[in-house]
Structure formats: structure tokens, C-alpha cells
Structure 1
């Protein structure tokens, strides 16, 4: 069985990233910085020998993928299974708004337990199952090839945890910058949780741009909200 290489890209910056809002499934477009990140990413991707491009169907991912698709003359296949975690009733809210309107849900969120979900939302366990299944499907369909996958920060967190053998409890531990470059390998689509990380959070193509909004869940744990 041939190893499949996936180049995973988080979408570029949105205004809601700057405002530290829970975006989830809400279809938020890139801001000007996000479009510049996508442009630079496209120039970098021109060096890659990829055969396919698969993208979350949300606008912020499609807009991030567009320059790369143009550079490589690749069609964009949309896949809703690559969407961000669904946060239900709190989508579009900042941390302080969730604390005020859904105080119990916020307290539970700070425990970072895999079976917890925001009201009407998706738990980390459900989200993980969805993302790993989506990547397995891509690897199965394109064995031995290189596939570009444009997705979301939460999805990349699921990949990192899986590859490092971490559980789904606890806050995020990896860097996941907007428009960052990540490369993984899946040797056997039947065992998609056996992931090899080749490169992670590479932002050399964004080196001289302003600092990004930082998503640091660990700061929530000590009572210092930073991002969502």
C-alpha cells in the first residue's frame, strides 16, 4: 500500500479571528490580511507537486485555496466534512459573551473534556471522528499521491493530537497559525490514526506580516482569556 501525503492548510485570517470569536460553521470571509496570506501561500505552493486539492466548503477556506488552485491549475473539490467544530448556540460569540449568556456551558468548556459540547454543538470526540474519517477517505481515494487539504484550526488540532498520541481532553498544545503549512503522511487509509508529521506550522511565507491573533486555550485554564 502506498503512502499518501497530505499538505494541510488552515484558512487565512478573518475579522472574527481578530475579534476572537467562535466561528464554527458560520460562513465568515477572509479579511484583507487573510487574502494577502492566501496570495503568499499560493506563491509558495507553486513549488509543490500535488495532484489534488480538497477544501472545506466554508468561504474562508475556499478563498484561501483559490490562489493555490490557480497556481497549480487544480480543480477544487469541496468537502463539508472538513469544516470547523460546530459550536452550536455560541457560534459568533466572544469568550466574554459566552460567559455572560451561557455561564454553565462556559464552565464546562474550560474543563476541556472530550465528550462536552456547547449547547446544540459538537463534542471534541464527535469532531475528531468526523475529521479523521474525512482524511482517511481522502487518503483512500488518492493513495501514493500528494493532496492539498484546506481546513480549519480545530481540524488541525485533531490531527496533531492523533499523530502525537495525545487524548482529546485538555487544551490545545500545538501552534496552528492562519495559512500555515503542515505536511503529514498516512501509510494506511484503513488505519488513519497512524499519522506521521513531516512539517508543522511553517509560516516562512508570512514572515514579514504583522503578528497573528493567538489562540491559546491553556490561558483560559488560568483565567486569562486569549482567543476562541
Structure 2
């Protein structure tokens, strides 16, 4: 059976500062680094000495967490820019309030995947899906039965959709509520070849960490 542990990167500095994430390359906070160690603890207890591969978005907040995980297994991180969060174009790295004032709301009907939010250079959701689906497909093609994928909130939601075989054009309404530091466990059952989501956004390993006040931001 194949296990994919999909990790949403832990707390990053842009979360604390109330800045838009996207492709803004913020670092993990001290608390985020501690969360990454907790995630590594959980994965080490589950995977133990079995072979494992670790994949990550190439943005620092994801790859730094992936490095801490990979060290537990004495493996290298395989970074892939296709696993990045959706780009918000010129809004990335700006205050979240700046984006909120300019964002064109997503329509309830119509071309939701092709909808442009407003900021110059921003990706559409279709562009995000079109790079995430092949990225996951390339990961799944590898023969290793345990894989860790460290990505971002919105991106990880679409990676789950890809895992369960949802057609790209049907992802216009998909959303899985994933939070920083959460672990989602995906399993391929070899008896009937189903792709399962056996746990979604598990954050029990973070429960005794004190919460720190922070502004609301994305990515």
C-alpha cells in the first residue's frame, strides 16, 4: 500500500505580519520551526525505518519544513516549483488588506477556474490546477511506498482533488479546509486500487503549542 503524507507548511512570517503569501518567499517563524519538528516526530513514528521520499515546494517556508522532516530519514528533499501556492501576482508580499480592497470576488457560477482576481500577474485557479496535477502524477509514478509532500494550503487542497481522481474541470468548487502544520494522509489500497483520504488536516501534534496572535493572511 502506498502512503502519501501531505503536509501543509507550518507557521511562516507572512502569517504573523498579515502579508499575502502566494509566491512571497517568507521564512518559517520560530514557532513554525518547532511545528516542523513536531511534524517530523509524527511522520517518523508512522513510517519508522521504511523507505521514504520527501518532496516540497521550493518556497522557503515549505522547503525548510521538508528539510527537518528529511533529516529524520537521512534522505534529500526533492523540491518542485509546481508545488508552490497560487501566485497572487503583484499582491504577493503586500498587506492582506491591500489585496482585500482590490480583489475581484469569485463568482458563484460561470468560469470560476478561469476567473482573474484582479492583481496583475496573479495565477488563475486553472493555472494552479494545471501545474499541480502533473506534479502529483510524477510523484505517484515513483515506486516508493511512503512519500511526504510539503506544500501550501490552497495548493494542497487541489493535490487532494488530484489524488482522488477529480477531473480538473470539476475542481471549480472543491475546497478542503487545511491549516498550517496539518498532515493529511492519502492511501492507495492495493486490494481494490482505491485512492483514499484516511485523515484530513490532522493537527493533534500541535495542540499543546501556545497560540500566538497573528493577522489573517493566505498561502
Q: Same fold (TM over 0.5)?
A: yes
Q: Distance in 2 between matches of 1:23 and 1:8?
A: 19
The residue number in structure 2 matching 1:222 is none
Q: Distance in 2 between matches of 1:110 and 1:32?
A: 38
Unaligned runs of 5+ in 1: 189-193, 216-225
2:55 counterpart SS class: strand
CA contact (8 A) 2:17 2:214 kept: no
More moved, 133-142 vs 42-51? 42-51
Cα 1:206/1:164, change in 2 over 3 Å: farther
Shift of 1:122: 1.0
Structural mapping, 1:1-228, within 5 Å: 4-47=2-45, 48=47, 49-100=50-101, 103=102, 106-109=103-106, 113-118=112-117, 119-142=120-143, 145-162=145-162, 163=164, 167-170=170-173, 173-185=175-187, 195-211=195-211, 227-228=217-218
Unaligned runs of 5+ in 2: none
Shift of 1:107: 2.5
CA contact (8 A) 1:114 1:123 kept: yes
Aligned CA-pair RMSD: 2.9
Q: Distance in 1 between matches of 2:132 and 2:214?
A: 23
**Number of equivalences:** 205
Shift of 1:165: 5.2
Q: Distance in 2 between matches of 1:85 and 1:152?
A: 9
Shift of 1:176: 0.9
Q: Distance in 1 between matches of 2:172 and 2:18?
A: 22
Q: Distance in 1 between matches of 2:81 and 2:90?
A: 19
Cα 1:89/1:141, change in 2 over 3 Å: same
2:172 counterpart SS class: coil
CA contact (8 A) 2:3 2:185 kept: yes
